[in-house]
Every structure is written in C-alpha cells, then in structure tokens.
Amino acid sequence: MYLLNNLTDEQHIIEFELDRIENRKYRKPDIILEHINSLIVDNKKYYILLDEVQMLEGFEEVLNLLLHKDNVDIYVTESNSKFLSHDILTEFRGRGDEVHVFLLSFNEYMSVYEGDRYQGWADYLTYGGLPLILSLKTEEQKINYLTRLFEETYVKDIMERNKIEKIQELNDLINILASCIGSLSNPSKILATFRSSIKSDISLNTIRKYIEYLKNAFIINEAYRYDVKERKYIGTPLKYYFEDVGLRNARLEFRQIEETHLMENIIYNELKIRGYKVDVGVVTKRTLTEEGNKDKKQLEVDFIANLGSKRYYIQSALSIPTEEKNIQEKASLININDSFKKIILVKDIIKVKRDKDGIVTMNIYDFLLNNNSLEF
C-alpha cells in the first residue's frame, strides 16, 4: 500500500506469499527466479516482496542472485529460527539491512483496544503486546496462545538451531531470567542459583551461551550499568528485560505478576521502541559520617535513555504515597549534576508537574500514550 500510495507502478511490485498453497511451485529456486526475471522488463526500480521466505529452498542463494540486479529492492519476512538470529546479516553483509519490528507499544495497543486505559493497562501488563492477543476474547484463549507460542516456536527454534541437548537447563535458565526482571544479575549469580536451588552442574560458559541464544532470538534484552559521574560503563551486574511481558508471564504460568517490575520492563521496552539506547544508571554519593569518616553510597537510576544529543534520566515508581518515598525516588536524580531532564514515572493519576529541583513527575499513561511525552 505504501508503494502504491507513492505512485509506484503496480507492475513493478512483485509479491509472493510463499506459505499459500497456490504459491507452492514458487518454493523452488529455479522456478521463482525464472518467473521474477520474466517480470523485470525495463530498467525502472522493482520491489520484490517475499513473505515466509524460509519456505523457499536455498533462499540465501536466491536472495544473493537477486541482489546482483541494480534495479531491485528486496524485502523478506520470515518466522523460522534462521531469522530469529542476528546471524542472517552475515549472509548479506554490506548488501542488506535488518529492521527490528517491535511488538505493539501501549499506545498502539490502546488504539484498537475495546475498553478504557486502566483496563487496557491491566491486560497489557498481563498479556503483553503481541497483535493477535487483541483478537482473543477470553483469558483462557490468551493464556493458551502465549504458552504455546513460547514453547512451540521460540524454545523449539532455539533448541533446533543451536543443537541444544540440555533442554531442562535451558528451560530452567529462562525461568530464572523471567523471575529476575529488573533485578541486578549476571551469569555468575545465575550459576549460584543453579547450584543452590536446582542442584545443577551447568557450567558458567553454558549459561553465557544460552543467554546469548535468548538475546539473538529476541526474547530478552540486557541493560548495562553506567556510572554517571565517572562517565564509564560498569562490567557487571546488569539487568535483563523481556521483549514481551506477556510471554514472560506465560513462561511463569502467570504466577508472578508483580506490577512494579512489569511496569519497569514496559518502560524499558517503550524507550527501545522510541529508538533510545537504554542503560541502568549508577550515581555515587559521597558524604562524611558523624565520626568524620568518608562514606560512599551507590544510588541507582532505573534508566538512562540516550538518542543522539538527547539524554533522559528516568525513575520508575509504581506509587509515591509518602514524602519519605518521594525523597527515596529523587535521591539519585538530585545527585546528578548535569542539565539533562530527570523524570519520575508513577502509576498514580496525577498531572505532569515539575518540582523545585527541576524533576518532572508524570503518570505512566501520559508517558506511554504520547510519543512526545519526554518533552513535557
């Protein structure tokens, strides 16, 4: 539709939905190449759209051959483990781009959700942003869909692609990561959990490899710690977040719906959707004790969001019911000496306000439902 709206001749758009039974013959390399070549009859730009390209035998070779044509742009989609990894780019290095398609943001979700934003938030927090969720009517349908998708698509593809034999250890690792979203962790801490709670002899190297597989499959993301005052990254620990909270919840059989941690995960995903690089901030506060000794304390900033020259320091707080809680949430932000904007996001229904320290407090709905909310 975009191409047609921009006055592209329909004859210069070549499209194959390779999962359709009527297109089965085009799953053979020679046949599809012969057909495409017969349709390219001039030197104008042609757009080739291949859906479910994994069903095309030897698709890498076909794409490489088409890429030698100067007047074609090729767009492919795929839902197989081969494309659940960044490694596909090595097949076409320098000749292709990867587009990371995120799941629905809360704003996109609410644009078609049948209900108010408060019920929408509860559903989004529980079932996540996969588009099909919006068409499922009952809780049972949503739960079954997410559970099957995680097991039958994500986990099976990771196992098959990476030839994983220790299936139970992979599943245990996913459960541990799902349970610790928003908490500082690292492979060594996870290894300690395997040793103490699961009584497993899994190696540290295996844990690292499995985490990399999960990242490449777009199941989890990592947020590294950044020392704001020293302007440098801290190696470990770090934080793990799920690309979709619905899949995370399904993995734990919807038994750990902690709104505080899930709200933090949703904020992280929203910042990534908006194009920001997101880190976890560390601010060192130095004081003198009553005895005259130097005391050093590390304060955490939930997120540092960077995009070009823009930077925002963001705290996630489900609620700020008391002045003591307010002081606690502001502590790290007050100790940052630069002029970048500092924001506290809460679920409390409040109007956007800026205090005497220049810190903006905003409710989560205003933040998520307006793409320019960071400029408020």
pLDDT of 88 reads: 59
Residues 138 and 241 in one domain: yes
CA max distance for the chain? 86
pLDDT of 157 reads: 85
Using CB atoms within 10 Å of the CB of residue 166, give its burial: 0 to 12 exposed, 13 to 18 middle, 19+ buried. Answer: middle
Residues 291 and 146 in one domain: yes
State which residues of the chain have pLDDT below 50. 84-85
Instruction: Please give the Cα distance from 328 to 143 (Å, whole number).
Output: 37
Residues 34 and 14 in one domain: yes
Q: Is residue 98 part of a domain?
A: no
Instruction: Among 92, 118, 139, identify where a domain stops.
Output: 92
Residues 149 and 282 in one domain: yes
pLDDT of 246 reads: 98
pLDDT of 320 reads: 94
Instruction: Among 37, 71, 92, identify where a domain stops.
Output: 92
Q: Is residue 376 part of a domain?
A: no
Instruction: Among 92, 123, 155, identify where a domain stops.
Output: 92
Angle of CA points 365, 368, 369, to nearest 5°: 80
Q: Looking at the whole model, is its pTM more than 0.75?
A: yes
* φ and ψ at residue 331, rounded to 5 degrees: -55, -50
Residues 180 and 271 in one domain: yes
Give the type of residue at 133.
I
Q: Is residue 191 part of a domain?
A: yes
Number of domains into which the chain is organized: 2
Using CB atoms within 10 Å of the CB of residue 307, give its burial: 0 to 12 exposed, 13 to 18 middle, 19+ buried. Answer: middle
CATH number, position 66:
3.40.50.300
Residues 359 and 301 in one domain: yes
pLDDT of 258 reads: 93
Residues 18 and 151 in one domain: no
Residues 218 and 255 in one domain: yes
Instruction: Please give the Cα distance from 191 to 208 (Å, whole number).
Output: 10
Could you please report the per-residue DSSP string of 28-86? Answer: SHHHHHHHHHHH--SSS-EEEEEESGGGSTTHHHHHHHHTT-TTEEEEE---SGGGSSG
Instruction: Please give the Cα distance from 158 to 255 (Å, whole number).
Output: 24
Instruction: Please give the Cα distance from 129 to 262 (Å, whole number).
Output: 13
Q: Is residue 97 part of a domain?
A: no
- Structural domain for 351, as ranges: 103-371
Q: Is residue 284 part of a domain?
A: yes
Residues 133 and 10 in one domain: no
Residues 293 and 180 in one domain: yes
Residues 88 and 109 in one domain: no
Question: What is the tens place of the pLDDT at every residue in 200-219?
Answer: 999 999 999 999 999 988 99
Q: Is residue 63 part of a domain?
A: yes
Residues 69 and 118 in one domain: no
Q: Is residue 250 part of a domain?
A: yes
Question: What is the tens place of the pLDDT at every residue in 7-18?
Answer: 688 899 999 999
Q: Is residue 281 part of a domain?
A: yes
